[in-house]
Amino acid sequence: MLQELSFHFHSYIGSIVSSIPSDSVTLIRLHGLEGTIATTNKSYWGIPLDHSESHLDNFKRRDLQEYGTLGVSIRKIAQRYSERHRGLKTRVQVAYPPGCRKARAFKDGGVSFCMTKLEEELGSHVTLELDLYPFISDTENSE
C-alpha cells in the first residue's frame, strides 16, 4: 500500500507516475520544481524583461511537456484515490527552500508560470500546497 510519493522534478518521471497502481496515495511531494523564473509580473524578481522572456522560451521548448505530463499523471492518481475514498483529495506539496527567489515571490503573492501550468493540469481531486522549507531526503535523515 503506497501512501506517499516524493521525487525531484528533474527526474522526469511524469510520464510513468500514472502507472503506479495504488489508490491510496494521500501525499505527493515535489521538490526542485524549477521551471522558469518568468512570472505573470515578468520582472518580479528584479530580472530584466528580455532575460525573463528568454527563460520562458527555453522553458516552453524543454520543460513544458513534462509539466503537462506530470500534472495529468498526478491527476490520474488523485482520481483513483478520490473514487476509493469519497470526498478526500490527494495533497501535492511543492517544497522550496525558504531563501530562494521563488519562495520569496510566493510569499509576496507572485505565482510563476510553471506553477500556474501545473495547477491547470492537476484538476479538482488535488489540493496543491506550497511549502517553504527545504526537502530532506531519507538519506540525509540517516546521516
- What's the mean per-residue pLDDT of the chain? 76
36-40, 116-120, 134-138 — most confident range: 116-120
**What's the structural domain count of the chain?**
1
Residue 140 lies in a domain: no
The domain in which residue 118 lies consists of 48-131
- Of the listed ranges 18-22, 27-31, 41-45, 117-121, the least confidently predicted one is 41-45
Higher pLDDT among residues 57 and 110, named by residue: 57
Residue 15 lies in a domain: no
138 pLDDT more than 50:
no
Tens digit of each residue's pLDDT (9 = 90 or more) over 52-95: 677 777 777 777 777 778 888 899 999 999 999 998 999 998 88
Q: How far apart are CA 141 and CA 143, in angstroms?
A: 6
Residue 99 lies in a domain: yes
